[in-house]
Amino acid sequence: MKDPLFGIGKLDDELTGIPDKKIVLLSASPSVGNEVFGYQIIHNNLLHKNKVLLYLNRTSPQSYLTEMKDYDFIADANLTIIDSYSNMTGIQSSSTSNTVIVENPSDGEEIKKKLSAELEKGYDLVLIDSLSLVIDAFDFNYAMSIIDLVKSKLDIKKGSSVLLFTDWDYGTNEISSLVSKVNAEVEIRGIEKRVIFGQYFAVIKCDWVKEKNFSSVLFKSVKPGGIKIYFPKVLITGPTDAGKTSFIHSASRDAVSVDRLGGTIALDHGNLDFEGYKADLFGTPGQERFDPLLKLLGGEAIGVILIVDATKPDQFPRAIEMLRKTESYGLPIVVVANKANLPGALSVEELKDKLHLGKDAPLVQTIAEDLSHIDPNEPTKLKKEGVEQALRALFKQLT
């Protein structure tokens, strides 16, 4: 048994889990939603054999578990649900040993009694989905008294708590007294301009972490898999035949290349899903006649992987030129020296020297899988170790 973790990459890095007796508020804007965070936190705690109590008033336990399953999150006997929903709708809750039914969900005293009795048993994690619905069903003060109840039990029984909250138009005073009651607040918001084109979360406060320079983190919620830290645009550039198409097809399962006569003429695109990160990879064509496109393709990239053929130093000036043309010079970069096992491949020192990219720019060597038994019509696959090393080196700079 360990401190409950979120199971969400960057959040666990920044907060190092949720220590005993701590309460975290996950506050989402109405357009974004926070329920997937709840599914993922529960899933991750069950994986770690933690005992989880879910107070549920947003939907039925059955729908909740089905939703979780859509993300490939399977609940087990360590999850207990207090069902404060079913009897509100008249739908029969199928009572199991792991469900505690609130007979009258509009009876605030019954809820407190049942919650209190469960908390007495001791849980590693107590999740409330959702706190805003408690406010709406009763009032603000009642919801605060629920937090007080949870807090008083955690103080004795240990364990920590996560409150899912949707920031409808509550008053500023109410919000600030809510925030002052919790130990940490994470905001979940959309980047909106008529439509939502991005979602992010940001740690707003946390009283157990000294270092306070938290950043906001873009994420995507994917089925299955859940919350992934998301990088909307990573550029894959480099000279012709260096291995850009091969890299993109090796890094993502569903890459698409627009190919004509062998060489890539338009672009490669791939969705990457790796170690809790998601990224869209955009490849550029290498031939000079497509240079007018490069600026366009490079626009809004947040990081770049420069791929060179380790046996062709005569192409290195062209490689640097492509960084300039895509306007990605100066972005977080990883250099991939491909074909590193071919005769004539330069050493790491020689590569760094000839590429003028500075000692700090990470450089990763990659080689192709055995090319003898591979379909010649399929893009070449590079060996996993090198590709993953390159991605980790990039994500390390981006987070």
Ligand X SMILES: Nc1nc2c(ncn2[C@@H]2O[C@H](COP(=O)(O)OP(=O)(O)O)[C@@H](O)[C@H]2O)c(=O)[nH]1
Identify the residue among 99, 245, 315, 326 touching Mg ion (CB under 5 A).
245
Cβ nearer to ligand X, comparing 185 with 309: 309
d(C-alpha 213, C-alpha 216), whole Å:
10
Phi-psi label, residue 164: left if phi above 0, alpha if psi -120 to 50, beta otherwise: beta
* Number of C-beta neighbours around residue 148 at 10 A: 11
Residue 312 touching ligand X (CB under 6 A): no
Q: Interface with Mg ion by CB under 5 A: which range of 12-20, 186-194, 258-266, 339-347?
A: 258-266
Q: Taking Cα atoms as reference points, which of 122, 123, 61, 69 lies closest to residue 96? A: 61
44 binds, options Mg ion, ligand X, none, Cβ within 5 to 8 A by partner type: none
* Cα of 386 vs its chain's centroid, Å: 23
Q: Interface with ligand X by CB under 6 A: which range of 119-127, 131-139, 241-249, 322-330?
A: 241-249
First-last CA distance in the chain: 28
- The least distance separating Mg ion from the CB of residue 304, rounded to whole angstroms, comes to 16
Residue 389 touching ligand X (CB under 6 A): no
Q: Interface with ligand X by CB under 6 A: which range of 8-16, 112-120, 138-146, 365-373?
A: 365-373
DSSP per-residue letters across 240-298: TTSSHHHHHHHH-TT-EEEESSSSEEEEEEEEEEETTEEEEEEEPP-SGGGHHHHHHHH
Residue at token pair 């905001």: 187
202 bridge partner residues: 187, 216
Residue 264 touching Mg ion (CB under 5 A): yes
Residue 328 touching ligand X (CB under 6 A): no
Cβ nearer to Mg ion, comparing 132 with 264: 264
Q: Which residues bind Mg ion (CB under 5 A)?
A: 244-245, 264
Q: Which residues bind ligand X (CB under 6 A)?
A: 238, 240-246, 264, 286, 338-339, 342, 367-368, 371, 380, 382
